[in-house]
Amino acid sequence: MALFGTDGVRGLANRDLTAELALDLAVAAAHVLSEKGAFAGHANNERPKAIVGQDSRASGEFLEAAVVAGLASAGVDVYRVGVLPTPAIAHLVAESGADLGVMLSASHNAMPDNGIKFFAKGGGKLDDTLEAAIEAKLKEPWERPIGADVGRVILDESAQERYIYHLLSSLSTPLTGLKIVVDCANGASSRVAPKTYIRAGAHVTAIHASPTGLNINENCGSTHMESLIAKVAEVGADLGIAHDGDADRCLAVDHEGNLIDGDFIMAILAASWKEQGRLKKDSVVGTVMSNLGFMKAMESLGISVPTTAVGDRYVLERMISEDFVLGGEQSGHVIMRDFANTGDGILTALQLMQVVVSSGKSLKELSGIMKRFPQSLINVKGVKKEQLATSEKISKEIAIHEEALGGSGRILVRPSGTEALVRVMVEAESNEQAERIASEIASLVRSELQ
């Protein structure tokens, strides 16, 4: 089975994702990128340069050490930036001209998991071809540099401040007077997000911003919105922002506690940008998981929505190939190519809050731009997800329900790219209908793919 999923290599830290594997992947990545010419152009035999960061998981400490050791042993100079959001690594790679970036994170997954994400020169994620080449290169014999040719390891203490400067430079309107709550998921945004929002002018209450190495994503962050909703009500905030463990996502709630997911955020940004003449080609890139209500809202505004497979890397590929500037996922990955070539939760929150301030409207008023179709999502665990594509019985069941829904709903059944499960998503005109159909399909998936 392939090591790389839709977002790097993930698994249970120290069992699936071991220090040995992390070291070997780092060495293989250095060799593959060198062979592909990604390290070319260094004057005076200058060594290639890598940026390495991590989220707040305890396992990130030994995995980071392994990655750093692997890269340095392959002749790469390594700049350690510590605990920072994933998009910070992408930005720092681009800003510094580094040849490679590595982030140790399992994003929204539970604390025992961890992952390795690679970024190429320029800050973009590696494409499937390069990931396959890295996997093929594992354990191959190689000639090790010695003496002055080994890589050096440098602690980069200015990285956080440079990233915050980048985030704030995206704003044209200060957030003065805006009262917000931010849930940092006890993750990578715990220091950066509150500091950035305060410096942008907002009055900030931060929750779940005390990482211990063990509490990342634990009943908090973008996958557990309850405490954010409660705190917004308690302090009378204008809105709340939730990040996931590595802060490449942003979800929000309005002052009444209504969820503002990635589709709502993209709709608000797309409408604002179109009005300003900033929405290139009057298009916003979505995925097959984008809510039908988002599609219909964009259609009513004359905005087209080309779609991709789930995964922000696929959204970005489409954006680059067709020169779009806005795209993302319902989960809160939003890419704004005017500022970055990766999803950035803090950047997304800043841009969303800027629309709130500049429009003079509440987030609830702005979210009226679309009506979310009821959606039921069931994660079917403990099944052989690789057999989904060949199951005729499941395909026929889906087709029957799709015909009954007509144009008033849709069904998506797909294997997760990051976890061992199958996702069943149904949209319909009512919650009851969506839940009934999703439950029936999930039961069939569970029985057929044992």
CA triple 245-249-255, angle to 5 deg: 105
Catalogue the E-assigned strands of 39-159: 49-54, 77-83, 100-104, 113-120, 153-155
Task: Round to whole Å and give the CA distance between 372 and 232.
Answer: 22
Q: What stretch of H or E contains 423?
A: strand 421-427
> Exposed, middle or buried, 412 (CB in 10 Å: 0-12/13-18/19+)?
middle
Determine how many CB atoms are found less than 10 A away from the CB of residue 22.
26
Q: What contacts 252, CB < 8 A, 6 or more positions away?
A: 239, 240, 241, 242, 259, 260, 264, 265, 349, 352, 363
Angle, helices 345-359 vs 262-276, to 10°: value is: 60
Radius of gyration of the chain (CA): 22
**Residue 384 in tokens:** 């052989």
The partner residues of 202 in beta bridges, in order of sequence, read none
Q: Pick from 63, 15, 35: which is nearest to 136 by CA?
A: 35
Which of helix, strand or coil describes residue 82?
Answer: strand
Query: Are the CB atoms for 159 and 82 separated by under 8 Å?
Result: yes
**Residue 405 in tokens:** 């829904």
The amino acid occupying position 124 is G
Torsion angles phi and psi, residue 313, rounded to 5: -65, -35
Angle, helices 159-168 vs 192-199, to 10°: value is: 40
Query: Are the CB atoms for 198 and 222 separated by under 8 Å?
Result: no
Catalytic residue among 56, 59, 105, 107: 107
Catalytic-residue membership of 107: yes
What is the DSSP secondary structure assignment for residue 48, as one 8-state letter?
P
> Exposed, middle or buried, 44 (CB in 10 Å: 0-12/13-18/19+)?
exposed
Task: Round to whole Å and give the CA distance between 230 and 225.
Answer: 9
The amino acid occupying position 140 is E
Torsion angles phi and psi, residue 165, rounded to 5: -60, -45
The partner residues of 242 in beta bridges, in order of sequence, read 183, 251
Q: Which residues are annotated as catalytic?
A: 107
